[in-house]
Structure 1
């Protein structure tokens, strides 16, 4: 499972790097030209970049990947304490990554920037893209909790 986490983090990092290049292209010229003066699309790209790099690259690689490789080696254990919880945690992360990617292509995208907070009116965000993004973040949060429980149970 540790190898799967590293591969998942690698692909999420590639997606985040592509979004980073798009952001740099947009900011390289005065006035911008990539998003046709659409602040919503630009905010969606910034939101996706941040979410992908933090929740789907850094956390899975460092905690899921190296945690599943290094922790059992350091403790002399053959495997983490609960292998099925470990697998469930990985698959929740993968499903959450798919939901977050899909949210970019629904409607105008989840352009809420770093707050990821839904607006309080329907006119602010009429599509379901932000809802799908928030559901994906909650799913990766559940995955993280399952991984933390497994991590703590292994070290006891």
Structure 2
């Protein structure tokens, strides 16, 4: 509405991204109810999430939930970027946009840059737990600080 359009550029992608959030939320709630998440924290640091220290499968459920929510956010970001850049009025330049529209555009670009890196980091945790890799295990040649660099 702020760029004089009636709807988003891809309304079905918008609908899909909304409906991806519901299973993600249900999976995250069931993961928190399934196992005791004490000591893991909201950042899921690798020494605390390794299979030696935390045997519950709720970490895998939480990682899968984060992947689904990430897919939803990436789809919404692509939809917002394409709507702002493609469906605006021809006389409506980026310098004439409102601050809210510019902040949405910048935020969606940042989401497109950050979410694949975060998804890769939690996938590496998943690989360390289930497929005997050692991305973050110092005894296998991994670096536990790498996750902090990828997360932050």
Which blocks of at least 5 consecutive residues in structure 1 are unaligned? Answer: 1-72
Provide closer, same or farther for how the CA distance between residues 118 and 131 of structure 1 changes in structure 2, counting only shifts above 3 A: farther
RMSD over aligned Cα, in angstroms?
1.8
Provide closer, same or farther for how the CA distance between residues 110 and 82 of structure 1 changes in structure 2, counting only shifts above 3 A: farther
Residue in structure 2 matched with residue 35 of structure 1 by the alignment: none
CA distance in 1, matches of 2:55, 2:35: 9
Which blocks of at least 5 consecutive residues in structure 2 are unaligned? Answer: 86-152
Residue in structure 2 matched with residue 4 of structure 1 by the alignment: none
Q: Secondary structure at the match of 1:98?
A: helix
* C-alpha distance after superposition, 1:94-150 (max 9, x if no partner): 111111101111122374113224546423111111111111111111111000000
Is 1:136–2:52 an aligned residue pair? Answer: no
Superposed, which structure 2 residues align to 1:87-106 within 5 Å?
Answer: 87-106=15-34
Largest Rg, 1 or 2: 2
Corresponding pairs, count? 84
Q: Secondary structure at the match of 1:75?
A: coil
Superposed, which structure 2 residues align to 1:9-20 within 5 Å?
Answer: none
- TM (norm. structure 1) is 0.49
CA distance in 1, matches of 2:44, 2:69: 14
Residue in structure 1 matched with residue 14 of structure 2 by the alignment: 86
Residue in structure 1 matched with residue 3 of structure 2 by the alignment: 75
Residue in structure 2 matched with residue 145 of structure 1 by the alignment: 74
CA distance in 1, matches of 2:39, 2:69: 19
* C-alpha distance after superposition, 1:60-119 (max 9, x if no partner): xxxxxxxxxxxxx11121110000100111011111111110111112237411322454
- TM (norm. structure 2) is 0.50
Provide closer, same or farther for how the CA distance between residues 149 and 95 of structure 1 changes in structure 2, counting only shifts above 3 A: same
The structure in which a higher percent of residues are helix is: 1
CA distance in 1, matches of 2:19, 2:35: 26
